[in-house]
Amino acid sequence: AQTVTQSQPEMSVQEAETVTLSCTYDTSENNYYLFWYKQPPSRQMILVIRQEAYKQQNATENRFSVNFQKAAKSFSLKISDSQLGDTAMYFCAFSNAGNNRKLIWGLGTSLAVNP
Amino acid sequence: NAGVTQTPKFQVLKTGQSMTLQCAQDMNHEYMSWYRQDPGMGLRLIHYSVGAGITDQGEVPNGYNVSRSTTEDFPLRLLSAAPSQTSVYFCASSYVGLQYFGPGTRLTVL
């Protein structure tokens, strides 16, 4: 069975600094998707970044980038120049690339950005 | 595009009452799902649907029913509410693995 593990329940970072959130997963599939979602206090789930397993290049979205290590089954999220609005729960998720698109979720990392 | 909409945003029920959480999407996505979110438990899949007329169970289906008569709508029914169903409920629709979430419903069962 596929699993997603986020080993850091809570993290904090100073404003303008860089922080990395860890995620590891387990699967026997070769083709799949990986995601990072952000959930601020408003409760809305917001997609931060998506990575397709067949792409070797790491995905980036402005201040957010990933370090995708397929062999190690690792998918960490780096937030550069942290802002107060980045304070949120961050969830890592996995999805097969087939017709069944169920997401498998990690338990989340609570990130606090301090002024 | 409204995206994924959910109603109501908040609901309080008494034990034993039934209710339906509504979910609709206007993106013509085939795949829709319902999750519940509890502190320290992440998101758990209740039921999902890969298209109109097709539904299947997720991790925690007991106490919930779903139907999918149209592509747009995917209501979640609580048959006889229990305090253990106090949670935040999210509906999502999906395209090429990318899930779009509704704003959530906070349900309290007394």
Q: What is the pLDDT of residue A100?
A: 58
Q: At CA A43, angle to CA B75 and CA A102, rounded to 5?
A: 50
Q: Report the C-alpha gap between A60 and B26 in whole angstroms.
A: 28
pLDDT at residue A99 above 70? no
Give CA separation, A109 vs A60, B42, B90, in Å.
20, 10, 19
pLDDT digits (tens, 9 = 90+) for A80-94: 999 999 999 999 999
Q: What is the pLDDT of residue B12?
A: 97
**pLDDT range class, residue A66, cuts 50, 70, 90:** very high
- Structural contact between residues A19 and A65, judged by C-beta atoms closer than 8 angstroms: no
Q: Phi/psi of residue B84, each to 5°?
A: -65, -10
Judging contacts by C-beta atoms under 8 Å, the chain B residues touching residue A99 are 50
Q: What is the pLDDT of residue A102?
A: 79
Residue contact A107–B104, C-beta within 8 A: no
CA distance A107 to chain B (A): 4
In terms of pLDDT, which residue wins out, A103 or B16? B16
Q: What is the pLDDT of residue B2?
A: 78
Residue B67 tokens read as 């139907």
Judging contacts by C-beta atoms under 8 Å, the chain B residues touching residue A35 are 97-99
Q: What is the pLDDT of residue A29?
A: 87
CA distance A13 to chain B (A): 21
pLDDT at residue A4 above 70? yes
Q: What is the pLDDT of residue A97?
A: 77
Residue contact A33–B97, C-beta within 8 A: yes
Q: Could you state, in chain order, the average pLDDT of each consecutive group of 10 residues for chain B (110 residues)? A: 91 97 95 92 91 93 96 96 97 86 96
Q: What is the pLDDT of residue B67?
A: 96
